[in-house]
A and B are shown apart, each in its own frame.
Chain A
């Protein structure tokens, strides 16, 4: 089943995607089981839209993002970009795909080569993809640097000479170099100071307005995701439990996990005191041994006997709000 807002054919359409990692045990590296990091996820992203993806640590957000890039191999399912299923693409087709979809990572430092001037890092991406070369490529780099709020002279500096926020701008510049349609941003502001976070979040918004980009914006901070996303998908242990428009999700969260998540965010307003019962009890189960039935049932305050046995399907209402819960 597919969850989409009502517009033209989506830019990205993911159907029943599964990415499982083998767990190897013992001297003969026998496969002792699988981590079901992503286990049957269907999502769409339209042109010019931002889909936010939130969920606890280990819920499979990064694995989902990397699977869409085929940086990890999906186990099954489809990933359609402009209608083409890239899980079956050849190497050369993938090269084309990478131009359309680019990734920005959490730690901008480890993803930038410290021995090459940052301008050349961006220029090389342009040359590699045969977009431009020589002088023309250099001019493009200067343009892109301006666009992300860096000085043209800074192209000559090395990554370690930049602050965290500036490095993240360089990471974004490198992604933009190929004029992608979709950027997958995996926790792009989590490592930044609050005062610098705002600069980078605003940059993402401005670029979207100017270039019509689409984003898959992955973060565990719901407030950050809310600031930038049109729609938000909530992931729990490898599955999507709820998808809705931003306002709908906050005004009318329907999955017990989403409700707990929304209630758990501390509000920067000392007059609002949280209720003592807002915290979920219990720890997050392991994705290599997820609970049967609804994966949330071990922590759910509403769980009924059938929640332990039957897997709730993601059901979509006419307004486009989708929930996977027997009681919602």
Chain B
């Protein structure tokens, strides 16, 4: 299958007082039609900057895409002129951000915000756009959609605003939807509603979804394939079942046992098993390093790991990992 969107060796850097931050340090991934790709990793590992780079939403200065490509419908988005990327944003590729208020305009009614891209990208009349906006609000289950068209975002609850963002993101039937932690700020009972909604819309429209999250539970639920990032790089990639059954990168392996597991706690009779700790913290992305970024936290490290950065290898069909060791775990 031909990917809808493909990132090849993407590199994005920030110039800061403490040096150059290699936020995205040669990341490649792709997503197919109708597929959900999960992207997981610790805070600061470059998940958001990668996806913002796709739509060239990186503030410059201090940020800059310094290498690689983003292929979409035969064009490299890192190279196309500004007016073209503006036409792609929100129409062909759209985003849901973690904090809805940063991308909703507090001065504009909900109806006008959803209609605006419809008028701009699809050339709908004001009236048709508002009709479509109302349909979208119904689709994301905002009760009383007609009166909310003239309401303002601050009058809504967090979950409702998040759904308005989804409505906006999907209004132009995008080919790719990038959802950056769309449910992190929400309560679990609301999170459930939103995830189901995205899944249903995807099935209906065939949208390719990139779901960025740090929650392995959310990934297990929605993703078909997963990319694990660590310190600006992809360290592992596999289909969802393989990743959970046989993780190959030591970071992924540790991550799986570091989280409290409600299913296991509920099934066990005594006290819950002690969590596995990953010692230390993530390295600074402004520091130059020669070896593997996980080296000083890794229980399986060998001498080579401290000297040479591991290359991404296909360990089995479709299962990639960047680790020098033939992971003796599991």
- Residue positions of A touching B, CB distance < 8 A: 56-57, 163, 165-166, 193-199, 201-202, 205, 220, 222-224, 226-227, 246-247, 250-251, 260-262, 264-274, 276, 278-284
Count class of interface residues, chain B = 35 or more
Q: How far, in whole Å, are A227 and B241 apart by their CA atoms in the complex?
A: 25
C-alpha gap A261/B262 in the complex (Å) = 12
Residues of B within 8 A of A193 (CB): 42-43, 214, 282
Interface pair A273/B262, CB less than 8 Å apart? no
Decide if B265 touches A194 in the complex (CB within 8 Å).
Answer: no
On whether the beta carbons of A227 and B260 are closer than 8 Å, the reply is: yes
Give the interface centre of B188, B218, B223, B276 by most chain A CB atoms within 10 Å: B188
Q: Is the interface of B mostly helix, strand, loop or mixed?
A: helix
Chain B residues at the A interface, C-beta cutoff of 8 Å: 42-43, 141, 143, 157-160, 187-193, 195-196, 214-221, 223, 240-241, 244, 254-256, 258-263, 265-266, 269, 272, 274-279, 281-282
Q: Are A56 and B217 closer than 8 Å at their CB atoms?
A: no
Can you name the residue of chain A whose Cβ is closest to the Cβ of B183? Answer: A266
A-B contact list, 25 entries, CB within 8 Å: A165-B281, A194-B42, A199-B277, A202-B275, A202-B277, A220-B187, A220-B188, A223-B217, A224-B260, A226-B262, A227-B260, A250-B265, A250-B266, A251-B266, A264-B191, A264-B192, A265-B262, A267-B261, A268-B217, A278-B192, A279-B189, A283-B157, A283-B190, A284-B157, A284-B159
Residues of B close to A226: CB separation below 8 A: 260, 262, 265-266, 272
Taking A194-B255, A223-B260, A283-B160 as known contacts, 16 extra A-B pairs with beta carbons closer than 8 A to each other, sorted by chain A number, are: A193-B42, A194-B259, A198-B259, A198-B277, A199-B278, A201-B260, A202-B274, A246-B265, A261-B188, A265-B262, A266-B218, A267-B217, A267-B261, A268-B219, A272-B263, A280-B189
- List residues of chain B with CB within 8 A of the CB of A202: 274-275, 277
6 closest Cβ pairs, A-B complex: A266-B217, A279-B192, A227-B260, A250-B266, A198-B275, A195-B278
* Known A267-B220, A278-B192: A223·B261 in contact at CB below 8 Å: yes
Closest-CB distance, A279 to chain B (whole angstroms): 3
Q: Which residues of B contact A246 (CB under 8 A)?
A: 265
Closest to A225 in B: B260
How far is it, in angstroms, between the C-alpha of A275 and the C-alpha of B218 when the chains are bound? 14
Given known A193-B43, A198-B277, A272-B263, contact A264–B189 (CB-CB < 8 A): yes
Q: How far is the CA of A149 from the CA of B214 in the complex (A)?
A: 25
Interface centre among A199, A251, A268, A278 (most CB of B within 10 A): A268
For B243, give the chain A residue with the smallest CB separation.
A270
List chain B residues, Cβ under 8 A from A205: 274
CB-nearest residue of chain B relative to A54?
Answer: B188
Cα of A260 to Cα of B279 in the assembled complex, Å:
35
Within 8 Å by CB of A270, from B160, B240, B272, B281, lies: B240
Which A residues are CB-close (under 8 A) to B160? Answer: 283
Residues of A within 8 A of B221 (CB): 266-267, 270, 273-274
Q: Which of B193, B263, B272 sits near A267, CB closer than 8 Å?
A: B263
